[in-house]
Structure formats: C-alpha cells, structure tokens
Structure 1
C-alpha cells in the first residue's frame, strides 16, 4: 500500500484548501449564510457552487465521462477531508450526502439511458436526490429482511405501497432511489426503483425534527399509496435491490468518514488556536500538560482514522469490496468526530458552548454519525463475522507475487 499523492491529487487538494479558506470559512460567522435548518442558505450556495465549477472543483467522485474528475477513492479521501474543513464544504463541491452516494451508485449500475435521465441532472447540480430505504417499526432498518414496502408488477409498471422514514434530503429532492420488496425471497426479494417527485401516488408526511443541523431537504417520513413506476426505471434488474444497496452504502459510508475527518481536524484547529492565547492562573492553556494530552490523543486518533480510510479506499480502487475495512473506518471515525468536538468545546469552555465558533454545530451534528449508514453495533457485528470466518487471517498482510 502506497499512499503517496500524485502531483494531480496534491494540486487538487491544494486548490480545494485555498477555496475553503478564502470563500467558505468566512461565511460560517455570518448569520445570513444559514438557512432555517442551519445549513448554507440556497442563494449563498448557488454563488459558491458557481465559483467551484468555474475552478473545476466539481463532482470529483464521478468519471470525466459523467461530468466529474475521476480521482478514485484514494483521491477522494484526500480531497473530501480538505473540503470539510468547512461545515459548508461538501455541498458546495457537489460531494455531500445523499447526492454523493446516489451519483456513485447510478454511475456504477445505471444503463446509458438511466444515467442520462437520472444521473446527469444531479451531477450538473440541477436537482437533488434521495435514497429511500429505512422504514419505521415493524419495517426494515439495518435489517432489510424486515422491509414492508411492496412493489407489485402490473403490466409494464410496478405499483408501490408502504411507509418510509428518516429519508435524508427528501423535501428538496427531485430524483429518488426507492428500495422495495418484490418477493419474499431472502436474497432476491428486493428491487431498486427510480422515480421523480412529480409522480402521483406518494407523499411526504412530515419533515422530522432532529437534534442537529440538517442536510438540505431534511429527514422526512414518506408514504406510498399506489405510486406507479415503469419497469424501465428498475435499477440493475428486479430482485437485485440488495446489490444496489451494497453498491451504494459501502462507498457512501467511506465518504462520510472522509468528510468527518475534515471536521475532526477543524475541531482540533479551533481548540489549538484558543489554547495558544488563552491564559489562566498565569499559564497558557497550551502549556498545561492536561491540554497537551487531550490534543495529542486527538492527533493520534485522527491519524488512525486517516489510515483506516485510506486502506479502505485503496482496497476499493484496486477492485475489492472492502466491507471489513469500511466498517472499521466507520466505527472509528464516527466516534472520533464526537470526541473531537467534545474535547474542543471543553478546551474552549463557554466559548465552545456558544455559537461564536462552529464547535457546537459540529457537536450536535456528530451524534448522528454513530447511527447513519449503520449503527456502530451493526458494523461491529460485521467485523465479528469476518473474524469468525478468517480467524488469525483477519489481520493478514497483503503479499506480492
């Protein structure tokens, strides 16, 4: 494994860093930059997206053929980390969830016609998207086998009935990817469908209030009562919905980690800056051993997270599935983000608890990290299964020919 950056990736990373420093960090301290749900305001976002596109800092995750930069997962890891030095970064570069994962899935699995209709508008920034999978009890969450939403074939259409919730971005989305049950087969009983918000037969019941700042479009509860989806809008084929889900969620979990590393580093940055000048009892906070231990621990944990992410990215880039590597990164970085925000607030004291910095924003946002795209416990169960299967080889080294 060689994590040396190519000149192209190193240059791209530097361009993103300069853009974030010049254009995005200053916006965070201006209340006018925020919408009602504490994300970047639409008018401000439109201006920043135009600047990012002008500079070629757009949609890095897609191939050039589909309007991106084709940097690969390792290149994304480097650049996404830099993007999320600002809380506004990822969405400005069209690299934020859920569009990020949806675009990668559509690129990997869509037919040419589906890419033109469903992927291109998202890649161009003309529409937003949502991935519709999670259901309220007794439906499916982390266990898709519990899924209740049904799609029944009627002629050239599928008719959908069911109930979904916590669907990220749904209120602002135009393009939706829906996972529904088409049979009771444990392995081939789910199908992925593409539909547009203007189609009848479904509704957004409510935008669910949450404890933290929200992605554009919130987290919504949806109900389906006769939505008709043409068979041509089935993604990858009937009964292959779990394949579509796996294709989407693995890389999407990893890109979450890439972004969270950027936020974790920002927490340390704010804490170090404050500790370097804040005096107490005649001593700078930065000169106190207790503070040095706190920040040194974070520095180590961030580097561990970076190595886990890069190893998983390397495995995917060379054609592997990287389930074990992604689960390790997801658990570690999700917990790291919360710890980084908490530690930085502690060092900043009342200032950290106030809205004078973005620390409190990151702290509230961070709690969801241990839940989204699989709770910690689910990923640890995955890791145990690998341990059961591989035994001591769970820690094997790759060897050359």
Structure 2
C-alpha cells in the first residue's frame, strides 16, 4: 500500500491541527471550561463548533452531499489523530462518538426520508444521538445474538419492551438507533429502529457513574415499556439488524483508534516537554537512559498503531469489512493509550498525577478503551477464529488487481 496521503487530506490535517492548537488546547487549563462530568462545557463547545463550521472543518468524515468533506477512512485516520491532540477536540468538529458512527451508518443505509428526518439534524449539530444495543446480563453485550429487548410487530407499528445500559450520550440525545429482537432466527432475528426521545413508552432509569470523564450525555440505563415505533422507522429491513451492526461497529471501532492515537501522542508530548527541563541529581530526565527507553518504546508502539489503523482504514475504503484489521488495531491501540498515559504520568511524577496536566484525565479515560466496542479478549477470540479458518492465509498479502 502507498503510505503517502493526498495534498487534499494533508491540507485538512494541517488546518485541523492549527485550529486545535490555537482554539481548543488553551481551554484545557481553564477549570471553568469543563462541565460537571469532565468534558468541555456547552457554552464553549457551541462557540467552537460555530468556528469549525465557518472554517469548513465540520463533519469531515461524511460525503459532500451529506455536508462533509468526503475524506474516506484513510483521510479520517490522518485528521482524527490531529483532532484528538486535545481531549476536547473530536466533539468540536462533530467527529466524536456516538454521533460519528451514527451519522456514518445513517448515511450508508438510510432511505432519503430517513436521512432528512434523522441524519440531517445531527449533521447540522442541532441534536445529539445514541446507539442503544448493550444490555445487562443475561442480555447482549459483545455478542449481539444475546439481545433480549423485544420489538413485537402489530400492524404497521412495533412495540418495544426491554432494558439497555451503558448507552453513551443517552441523557443528551434526541435521536436513537435501537437494536431489538424481532424473531428467534439466529441470523435474521435482530432489527434496527429509529426513535425520538419525546416518544412515550421508555425512560432513562439512571445515568451510570463511571471512573473516568464522560461524553456529553453520559452512560445511561434505559427501560422500554411499550415504546411504539412506526415501521417506516426500521433501518434497512426487518431482520437486518445484525448486518447493520457490522456496517456500523467496524468503522466506529476504528475511529476510536484514530482518536486514541492522538491522545497517545499527546501523552508523549507532555512527557518529553517535562523531561527536557526537569533536573534530578545533576542530570536532565531526558538525558537518562531509562527515560529514553520509555519514550522510545512508546514512539515505536504509537507508530505500530498508526500502521495497523492505516491498513484497516485502507481496507475499509476498498469495501472490505476489515474484521481482522480492525480487531488488531482495536486491541493494540487501546492498550497503547493506557500505557502512554501511565508512562507519561510516571515521567512527570506528582505533576502527572495532579490536575496540572491532562494526563490524569487521559489515564482515567483510557481504562475504558480496553472494554468499549468489544473487550480485548473478544477481539483476540475473533482473530483466533480467523486464524483457525484461514491458516497460513491469515497473513497473506493482497495482490494488485484482486477483489477487495
């Protein structure tokens, strides 16, 4: 594969990086810029979002006809990494989860009427959205076949009963994508639905407290007790829910990795800056071999992560589901992020453990990376299944001219 990026993509990356440096990073040191849950306050967010729209840096991941820049997954990898040099970055450009994944899947599979009703307001930044799939035991988590929330068809309406939890952004969301069971068929038993927060028959039971900073709208438990959804609000078709999860979750997992690479690089940046000026026993930290080994190892692991992400992005752009590539990137980069934050805190000492830098924020946030969108162990199991099925072909090189 060609590892160069186009001048078009580089121009966007450069502009994103300049925007982050000038407009977003300064807010991180201002306690008044944070909301009660450790994210950027809404007043600051709306101001910056307006600036991003004015500068043409809005929804870069979407097609031009949808309101984006049509960068493709490779272009997104380059720009998302630059966005998440700041902990506040992605949401400013309307490229943060869960809206990011929801917009991409609605763009890919929604009908024209569904795009106008459900997608356009998210693209415009008028509403937030959520993806309601995960359930408490014994319901579905990483294994969607275990989903127990039921949607019973009654004429042209589906009636929903069940429970979801850890639904990111639910408290602030207006538009929801809901995964529910419509039959016991192993492959065609799930269906994806669209509903609005103002519809009766459901409620947010609680916003679940977590150990780290939160996305806007938190992580919520939802109860459905007779929510009625018109058949016109089925995404794709009845029984296509499993296919929809494959379309949505693969790219969404990879966009997490793209952003986490930016945070990992930020950790190294903070650690290097401190090591270059901090003296101990007559020697700069940066001149100590132990510190050089720590930073060199992180630099290598970040580059490995970038290569894994780029290969997966390239495969997605060619029309592949890139299951192996996404799983490898997800495991590696999730663990890298945690290691980068831990190492940077160690180099910074007490300063790193304090709130004088964003390292402690990243460290608390990083622990969830090994769980969200599939735990490490699930992805390793998926990789082993591919290994069992493909054998030596697991490591094959694609040949020019072959189909994706």
Structure 2 CA distance for aligned equivalents of residues 132 and 191 of structure 1: 12
Q: CA deviation at 1:236?
A: 0.2
Corresponding position of 2:256: 256
Whole-Å separation in 2 of the counterparts to 1:386 and 1:52 = 41
Match of 2:243 in 1: 243
Cross-structure match for 2:395: 395
Residues 62-91 of structure 1, C-alpha deviations (whole Å, 9 max, x = no match): 100001110000000000000000000000
Q: Tell me how far 1:400 sits from its aligned partner.
A: 2.2
The CA distance in 2 between the partners of 1:265 and 1:320, in whole Å, is 28
**Is 1:208 matched up with 2:208?**
yes
User: What is the CA deviation profile of residues 241-262 of structure 1, one whole-angstrom value per residue up to 9, with x for unaligned ones?
Assistant: 0011111100000000000000
* Mapping for residues 280-319 of structure 1, pairs under 5 Å: 280-319=280-319
**1:117-136 deviations in whole A, cap 9, x for unaligned?**
00000011000000000000
Cα distance in 2 for partners of 1:296, 1:65 equals 43
Q: How far 1:196 moved relative to its partner?
A: 0.1
CA distance in 2 between counterparts of 1:272 and 1:263 reads 14
SS class of match (2:152): strand
SS in 1 for 2:277: coil
* 1:167-220: CA deviation from partner (whole Å, max 9, x where unpaired): 000000000000000000110000000000000000000000000000000000
Distance 1:214 1:177 in 2: 20
Larger CA deviation: 140-149 vs 226-235: 140-149
Cα distance per residue 1:139-168 (max 9 Å; x no partner): 111111211100000111000000000000
What per-residue deviation string (whole Å, max 9, x for no partner) do you get for residues 18-43 of structure 1? 00000011000001110000000000
* 1:53 positional shift: 0.5
Query: Which residue in 1 is equivalent to 2:184?
Result: 184
Q: Which residue of 2 aligns with 1:268?
A: 268
- What's the counterpart of residue 85 of structure 2? 85
1:152 maps to what in 2? 152
- What is the match of residue 226 of structure 2? 226
SS of the residue 1:191 aligns to: strand
What's the counterpart of residue 97 of structure 1?
97
Calculate the aligned-residue CA RMSD, in Å.
0.5
Superposed counterparts of 1:312-327, under 5 Å: 312-327=312-327
Provide the C-alpha distance between the structure 1 equivalents of 2:261 and 2:396, rounded to a whole number of angstroms.
Answer: 26
SS at 1:276 equivalent: helix
Q: 3-state SS of the aligned residue for 1:38? A: coil
TM superposition shift of 1:138: 1.0
Q: What's the offset of the Cα at 1:334?
A: 0.2
Distance 1:319 1:400 in 2: 15
Match of 1:163 in 2: 163
Q: How far 1:318 moved relative to its partner?
A: 1.1
State the distance in 2 between where 1:145 and 1:236 align.
18
Is there any run of 5+ residues in structure 1 with no aligned partner, and where? none
For 1:133, the equivalent position in structure 2 comes to 133
Q: Which consecutive unaligned segments of at least 5 residues does structure 2 have?
A: none
Deviation of 1:276 (Å) = 0.1
Q: CA deviation at 1:302?
A: 0.2
Aligned length: 401
- Once residues 201 and 31 of structure 1 are traced to their aligned partners in structure 2, the CA distance between those partners, rounded to angstroms, is 39
Aligned to 1:22: 22
My pick for the range that moved more, 139-148 or 18-27, is 139-148
- For residue 247 of structure 1, give the secondary structure of its aligned residue in structure 2: helix
Mapping of residues 320-335 of structure 1, within 5 Å: 320-335=320-335
- Output the CA distance in 2 between the equivalents of 1:296 and 1:317: 31
Q: Give the drift of 1:360.
A: 0.1
**What secondary structure is seen at the aligned counterpart in 1 of 2:259?**
helix
The runs of at least 4 aligned residues of structure 1 exceeding 2 Å deviation read none
Q: In the aligned structure 2, how far is the partner of 1:7 from the partner of 1:84?
A: 21
Alignment match, 2:8: 8
Partners of 2:247 and 2:321 within 8 A in 1: no
How far is the alpha carbon of 1:3 from its aligned partner? 1.9
